[in-house]
Every structure is written in structure tokens, then in C-alpha cells.
Amino acid sequence: PMTTTDLAVGGMTCAACVRRVEKKLAKLEGVTATVNLATGRARVSHPPHVRPEELVATVEQAGYTAALPE
């Protein structure tokens, strides 16, 4: 059973940014992500043991900002 977490991602300005974020998240075991450039949101499917804070840190390591939306 997967968990879905949405992230607010900042600093993306083009389609290549979107792919960078998606690919960085997909390096985590069992994680897939779809990023919406227009809304600045990433919808992430992941195993329950992958914590949202790890997803945030991963996006930040790709050079973008990330936060858990209100």
C-alpha cells in the first residue's frame, strides 16, 4: 500500500526543472512523482516508511525549495 504526499515546490521555471524534480524523487526506493509546473505542486506516491520530510530534503538537494502545503 502506497501513501500519497503533496509537496509545494518552488524555484521551477521550465519543463526541465519538472523532470529534474521527478527524477530526483524517483531515485528513492518505491517512489514515483508527478510535478505540476503551473501549480508548483508535486504529487508523490511512496511507501509509508518514506517520511514526507525525506521527500522535502530530496527536492531541496535537487536545488529547489520544498514544503508540506498547509
Closest approach of ligand 9UX to the CB of residue 46, in Å: 24
Look at residues 35, 58, 47 and name the one whose alpha carbon lies nearest to residue 4.
47
Closest approach of ligand 9UX to the CB of residue 15, in Å: 8
Contact residues for 7 (Cβ-Cβ < 8 A; gap 6+): 41, 42, 44, 52, 55, 56, 59, 66, 67, 68, 69
Does position 38 interact with ligand 9UX (CB under 6 A)? The reply is: no
Does position 13 interact with ligand 9UX (CB under 6 A)? The reply is: yes
Closest approach of ligand 9UX to the CB of residue 47, in Å: 29
